[in-house]
């Protein structure tokens, strides 16, 4: 019995000692230590970066207008050609015969028309006969023009100046309007299309400078300007398509290339805090602000642009206020904290 009483007394003494050492439940012996940073206004260059696809200023697939045998090819792959230059010729025996027939018919009707005009002066023929022959004369002219057009279709010309692609057909092949003989691209300037977030829509307009870079030419900056902005915003990506034009006199850029684009380079002033201060909370973001009396205050903020280690604050914070960057997990709204270090530069 005595041993049992000694055991109970010892246990009570240990419990009392532990309670004295820890203090009352729910109360800490000292405020938690935190590291804070000062929210400061800093220069934050505004630059929109995007990925774009290059397109030729003008591009076309060279195809024949009619079905016929290819009789000659008068170009070399990859060469520069001028507008109107002959690229290929098709068999033209039948079109030539049609032109000759139409021309002969036209000559005959012209002769008849002149004779009837002389006879009409002597009233040997009626006015209706003259009108009928005049209609035949117009029809003959139209038939002659159509025959000439079909003959012209046997000669394939470059519609504009540019660089030819690979030849895809050989002499002697029978081609149709669906047959691609080669391609022609005008790359004297390049159209560059890219998507920009809709938040920058008010800042993007015609003539805004653009700088593009290609993996093929990593040390070259291709400079151009915005030429147009699409009239619609993509409802899924919330972006708008922007088109710019880049001079390409040296021919380094080609249609289909993938380029990185930077535009809207301008210096703006922004309120910045370290990224570590931001506390995600479902659909909102918050920070702990150390107010007078070194008390923690949780505040919802609206964030903007980011750069490595820093976040722009658009609303909810004022310059000079201190935010907790280390020890946020220990801080509680309305509870005191102990500032052990202050980062004055906000970094």
Could you tell me how far CA 156 lies from the centroid of its own chain? Answer: 34
**In the 8-state DSSP scheme, what is residue 320?**
T
Weakest-pLDDT range from 3-12, 51-60, 237-246, 284-293: 3-12
CATH for the 31-44+270-343 domain, from 3.40.50.970, 2.40.420.20, 1.20.140.10, 2.40.50.140: 2.40.420.20
Closest CA to 208 of 144, 294, 143, 266: 266
Assess whether pLDDT exceeds 80 at residue 129.
no
Length of the chain measured in residues: 347
The pLDDT confidence band at residue 9, using thresholds 50, 70 and 90, is very low
Beta-strand relationship, 338-343 and 33-38: parallel
CATH for the 64-90+155-180 domain, from 3.30.930.10, 3.30.70.270, 2.40.50.100, 3.10.110.10: 2.40.50.100
Mean pLDDT within 81-92:
95
The pLDDT score that the predictor gives to residue 287 is 94
pLDDT in tens, 288-332: 999 988 899 999 999 888 888 999 999 999 999 999 999 989 999
Class of domain 48-57+185-267: mainly beta
pLDDT in tens, 23-68: 444 454 688 999 999 999 988 877 788 999 999 999 999 999 999 9
Could you tell me how far CA 274 lies from the centroid of its own chain? Answer: 32
Q: Name, in order, each residue with C-beta under 8 angstroms of 227's C-beta and a sequence gap of 6 or more.
A: 191, 206, 243, 244, 245
Number of Cβ within 10 Å of residue 125's Cβ equals 16
Collapse the DSSP code of 107 into the 3-class scheme (helix H, G, I; strand E, B; otherwise coil) and give the result: helix
Give the architecture-level CATH label for domain 92-153.
Orthogonal Bundle (1.10)
Residue boundaries of the structural domains of the chain: 31-44+270-343, 48-57+185-267, 64-90+155-180, 92-153
Highest-confidence range of 30-39, 83-92, 128-137, 333-342, by mean pLDDT? 83-92
């Amino acid at each position: 019995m005595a041993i049992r009483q000694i055991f109970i007394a010892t246990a009570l003494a240990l419990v009392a000692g532990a309670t004295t050492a820890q203090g009352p439940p729910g109360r800490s012996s000292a405020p938690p230590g935190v590291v804070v940073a000062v929210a400061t206004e800093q220069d934050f260059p505004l630059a929109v970066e995007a990925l774009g696809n290059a397109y030729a200023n003008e591009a076309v697939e060279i195809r024949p207008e009619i079905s016929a045998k290819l009789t000659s090819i008068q170009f070399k792959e990859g060469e520069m050609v001028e507008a109107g230059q002959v690229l290929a010729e098709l068999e033209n025996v039948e079109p030539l015969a049609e032109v000759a027939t139409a021309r002969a018919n036209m000559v005959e009707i012209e002769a008849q028309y002149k004779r009837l005009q002389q006879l009409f002066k002597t009233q040997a023929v009626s006015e209706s006969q003259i009108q009928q022959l005049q209609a035949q004369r117009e029809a003959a002219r139209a038939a002659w023009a159509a025959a000439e057009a079909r003959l012209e279709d046997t000669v394939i010309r470059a519609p504009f100046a540019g660089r030819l692609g690979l030849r895809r057909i050989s002499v002697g092949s029978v081609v149709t309007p669906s047959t691609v003989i080669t391609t022609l691209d005008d790359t004297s300037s390049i159209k560059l299309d890219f998507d920009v977030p809709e938040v920058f829509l008010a800042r993007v307009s015609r003539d805004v400078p653009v700088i593009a870079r290609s993996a093929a030419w990593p040390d070259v900056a291709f400079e151009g300007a915005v030429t147009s902005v699409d009239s619609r915003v993509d409802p899924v990506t919330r972006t708008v398509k922007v088109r710019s034009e880049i001079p390409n006199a040296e021919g380094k850029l080609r249609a289909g290339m993938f380029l990185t684009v930077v535009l809207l380079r301008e210096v703006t002033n922004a309120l910045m805090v370290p990224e570590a201060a931001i506390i995600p909370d479902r659909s909102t973001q918050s920070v702990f602000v150390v107010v007078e009396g070194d008390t923690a205050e949780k505040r919802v903020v609206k964030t903007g642009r980011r750069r490595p280690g820093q976040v722009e604050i658009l609303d909810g914070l004022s310059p000079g206020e201190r935010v907790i960057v280390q020890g946020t997990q220990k801080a509680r709204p309305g509870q005191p904290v102990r500032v052990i270090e202050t980062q004055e530069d906000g970094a």
